Structure 1
């Protein structure tokens, strides 16, 4: 009995360590805030074992990982991360880990840029890597970074893969491309059309599509189109022939809501696609105004309920809602 209990305890420790290493890796590549990392587990391990083995394991899965060599997070972020690992090691009184200091020395001499890579690890172990801007707003647009609703909609898609399998999908306001690339890599759509209107966003979007092994020329299964909500025609929409239309974090500015609702009306008139809009509700007045304009346009909505699997690390403080539209 005692031996069995010891085995169970040992298994529990292994599971916990595995989970912690995964959390460190996922959070590091998504450039999550350092306070969100599982530091408490690391502190306890350092205190109990007086060994840097766990730090060595963390290092191999982050700064020394092949994904970091290919798609590195920002220089500043890696400096902060490595400095924090060193601080925790020194506080615990563990022997110095040469590879940790070598990794820090490597980034200290590197020059930071306005762009960096963020990689979002999928349950399969695969990664969606995106070149994003460091600043949340740059070049007059918010489309050069990934926002929470895009991550949430991607998680919902992973939970509802059959919704997209074998179907033609049109995404409005694709931004950096996280949601669409996740769906293309995991849900096997017949065709996926990314769209946006800002020229810089479209350029970055095409780069990210190629970065993730998707090609606009591969049997025409993936496309990136310019779509201005104020000028898009029903003919342009009909040519895409979408079975599914999705959008994430497009209801953040009252000035664009009217043109969005007009576009959604054209989409629902041109064919009968399933339309899903995912929004982070930052301003209840703006979001309520969007729903009111939908109603005035004769568009009804249904709130999608049910838990969504948490795959990606991001702040879940703000409410995020998916609605399905129909006439």
Structure 2
């Protein structure tokens, strides 16, 4: 009897892990092929019941988070179609599954949707992002992999941000900064970007996630042009920690970034961390060479990070710390 109970408890833990995988992946709009569909199929064959599919539905399309911050219409439609496709022929149809599909079949597609990233404490960072990777002349309206990695690193190294003033360069839609504000207890956080549309979207996302200038931490959003930002402006911000994610993607932009980083390191003792997805080794190598020419040394921050968010972990992502 004890052995049977142990097996049942293990199965319950496994079920919960699978349900969490579905929920985390659904709200982040991960590729559908990456979800654990095989487990669902085996559960249906074993139990001859749609109870597990019903539970998946409660954690995804019927969850309050989906009502407030829904993934794209197309994604929800494809997700529900996959669940229906896996319903066993000898099981009673699940009415709420078909009702949920009916809601999105006729819904209008939009150019924006919400992605929500679940934090270890059970809260969520919900971001309005553009569906297209490049839109309105910028790549800053979506979340990129290095931002997710840097957010995970921050969750593992809260002491780098706790009680400090943090400046983020190229904040984009705000994933890394909002995660730090919600989980790492900075005293003040300054989001920054130079693209007007990105700043507008960033402001919306900061507000949606309950962050305000008067709150704790105090947050502000600054238009910061890397080519014209003065040392006086940087001193006024007074950052103790400076971060940036996925900002090294163009040789010309990298040059402007190095000049700004030189000013930051010259006028402050801030801890500076740059996280990059190395898509073009030549561009990234050129950035490091420009750092060297500017008298800036770097240290590669190695070691594993906790897996919190779903993204492609085969990507070449590097986090470096800068020194003068």
TM over 0.5: yes
Quick check: 1:216–1:224 contact (8 Å CA) kept in 2? no
The runs of at least 4 consecutive aligned structure 1 residues that moved more than 4 Å come to none
Partner residue, 2:105: 108
Partner residue, 2:67: 69
Aligned partners of 1:245 and 1:47: how far apart in 2? 52
Aligned partners of 1:186 and 1:138: how far apart in 2? 30
Quick check: 2:113–2:131 contact (8 Å CA) kept in 1? yes
- How far residue 219 of structure 1 moved from its aligned partner, in angstroms, is 7.0
**Deviation by residue 1:291-326 (Cα, 9 ceiling, x = unmatched):** 111000000000001110000011112111100000
**Aligned: 1:79 with 2:101:** no
- How far residue 183 of structure 1 moved from its aligned partner, in angstroms, is 0.2
Partner residue, 2:143: 146
Can you give the 5+ residue segments of structure 1 that lack an aligned partner in the other structure? none
Partner residue, 1:268: 265
Aligned partners of 2:270 and 2:264: how far apart in 1? 8
**Aligned: 1:199 with 2:196:** yes
**Aligned: 1:98 with 2:95:** yes
**Aligned: 1:180 with 2:177:** yes
Aligned residues: 324
Q: Secondary structure at the match of 2:273?
A: strand
Deviates more, 1:69-78 or 1:312-321: 312-321
Partner residue, 1:19: 17
Quick check: 1:42–1:54 contact (8 Å CA) kept in 2? yes
Aligned partners of 1:95 and 1:32: how far apart in 2? 29
Partner residue, 1:117: 114
Aligned partners of 2:222 and 2:270: how far apart in 1? 18
Aligned partners of 1:130 and 1:83: how far apart in 2? 25
Aligned partners of 1:150 and 1:101: how far apart in 2? 36
Quick check: 2:187–2:216 contact (8 Å CA) kept in 1? no
Aligned partners of 2:119 and 2:110: how far apart in 1? 27
Partner residue, 1:166: 163
1:20-39 equivalences in 2 (<5 Å)? 20-39=18-37
Aligned partners of 1:145 and 1:180: how far apart in 2? 14
Can you give the 5+ residue segments of structure 2 that lack an aligned partner in the other structure? none
**Deviation by residue 1:174-230 (Cα, 9 ceiling, x = unmatched):** 000000000000011000000000000000000000000001343781010000001
Quick check: 1:276–1:324 contact (8 Å CA) kept in 2? yes
**Deviation by residue 1:144-173 (Cα, 9 ceiling, x = unmatched):** 000000000000000011111000000000
Partner residue, 1:316: 313
Partner residue, 1:59: 57
- How far residue 6 of structure 1 moved from its aligned partner, in angstroms, is 1.5
- How far residue 10 of structure 1 moved from its aligned partner, in angstroms, is 1.0
Quick check: 1:171–1:245 contact (8 Å CA) kept in 2? yes
Q: Specify which of 205, 210, 213 is matched with residue 213 of structure 1.
A: 210
